[in-house]
Amino acid sequence: MRNYLLCGTLLLAAAFSAAGCSKKHDAEIAKTAPVTVVKGVTLETVKNVAVPDLLDVVGSVRARTSAVVSTRIPGSISVLRVREGDRVKKGQLLLQLDAQENQATAAVATAAIDEARRGLDEALSRKKLADSTYDRYSNLLKEQAISRQEFDVRQTEKDMAAQGAARAESRLKQAQEGAKAATTVSDYTRIIAPISGVIASKQADLGATVFPGQPLMTIEDDSSYQLELALPESVATKVKPGSALQITLDALGSTFAAKIAEIVPTADPGSRTFVAKIALSQKGLKSGMFGRGAVNLGTSARGITVPKKAVVERGALTVIWTVDANSIAHMRIVKVGRQTGDRFEIVSGLSEGDRVVISGVEKVTESCRIE
């Protein structure tokens, strides 16, 4: 038994000795291994600077001009010329309703015009005859060939004929106005585009029965868009039209400076927010896109910022390459705050005086030497 214990102790001692020699050998190799030298990179020494106090708000992209198309009369859709995404021009026929009652009313009103016109012609003929008879009887009265009573009868007939012609003319005008109104109502069966733009949505299909005021489709003018941001009422007195802010449109990968063009003066009682509108001119905009804004409240705090191109995304980590006093590069995990222009605020991970790589970061590796 003692021999077995002695052998085990000797084997264990030999194993520890071999491990120690291996570690010593690896350390000697590490000391003698060549260091990678990287050239062509730019460094910047970080400093505590004044960082503006920004308020982050969110909103949506909307068309500056849009129109909800609806009908004024009931009917069923018999013709549908457009669908979502189609581009239309102002005055273009969008759809047509089958409203037989309104069309029949317009036909009756047109027939009434013809009837009133024939009545006027008859009244004018009677008036012409009455005027001629009156003139003859007037001459006979001067020659004392008829009695005064006979003359008075003809004069009365003349006056009545004139009044009849006036009534007939009034009935014709009334029929014409009625036909105009009936034709206008009949024209309501033709739904035309009130503005030029794109069909953003459609709420009715072919054959559907629709009623007055029911939305049928929405047209948006895609030549001009704006971002509508929801501002909390707590900053209502600090933010005004013309205030500067930083806009980010995630769908376009775009960040740019802008100014508030308009603020709706009334607040939403549900969310207690005001709507601020910012004009947009970027290409590829679509109504409903998500947008973010960083509003400058006019105050500032001290903080560290680095250029945007110095920040590297490594999976779920955000890192920056730092360079120590021996010009050796090391990866530093940082926490990024707000973006101001082309610079990021670094909330944690860096200290004033640290040197960071701001260009050529793709060349840098851990423990390489920077020249």
State whether the Cα torsion 190-191-194-200 is positive or negative.
negative
Is pLDDT larger for residue 317 or for residue 236? 317
pLDDT at 11 (0 to 100): 43
pLDDT average, residue stretch 283-297: 87
For residues 158 and 130, give the distance between their C-alpha atoms in angstroms, rounded to a whole number: 5
Contact 20, 193 (CB under 8 A): no
Instruction: Give the architecture (CATH level 2) of 56-64+224-299.
Output: Beta Barrel (2.40)
pLDDT at 315 (0 to 100): 84
Q: At the top level of CATH, which class does the domain 37-51+302-370 belong to? A: mainly beta
Q: Where are the alpha helices (DSSP H) in 143-240?
A: 148-187
DSSP string covering 122-168, please?
HHHHHHHHHHHHHHHHHHHHHTT-S-HHHHHHHHHHHHHHHHHHHHH
Residue 153 neighbours by CB distance under 10 Å: 14
The three-state (H, E, C) secondary structure of 71-83, written as one string:
CCCCEEEEEECCC
Tell me how far CA of residue 350 lies from CA of 135, 324, 337, in angstroms: 115, 12, 13
pLDDT in tens, 124-178: 888 888 888 888 888 887 888 888 888 888 888 888 888 888 888 888 788 777 7
Q: What's the pTM?
A: 0.55
Contact 126, 161 (CB under 8 A): yes
Q: Which CATH number does 75-98+188-223 carry?
A: 2.40.50.100
pLDDT at 19 (0 to 100): 45
The structure tokens 């008036």 sit at 127
pLDDT average, residue stretch 98-121: 72
Task: Give the pLDDT band of residue 277 (cuts 50, 70, 90).
Answer: very high
**Where do the structural domains in the chain lie, given as residue ranges?**
37-51+302-370, 56-64+224-299, 75-98+188-223, 100-186
Query: CB neighbours of 122 closer than 8 A, spacing ≥ 6?
Result: 168
If you average pLDDT over every residue of the chain, what do you get? Answer: 82
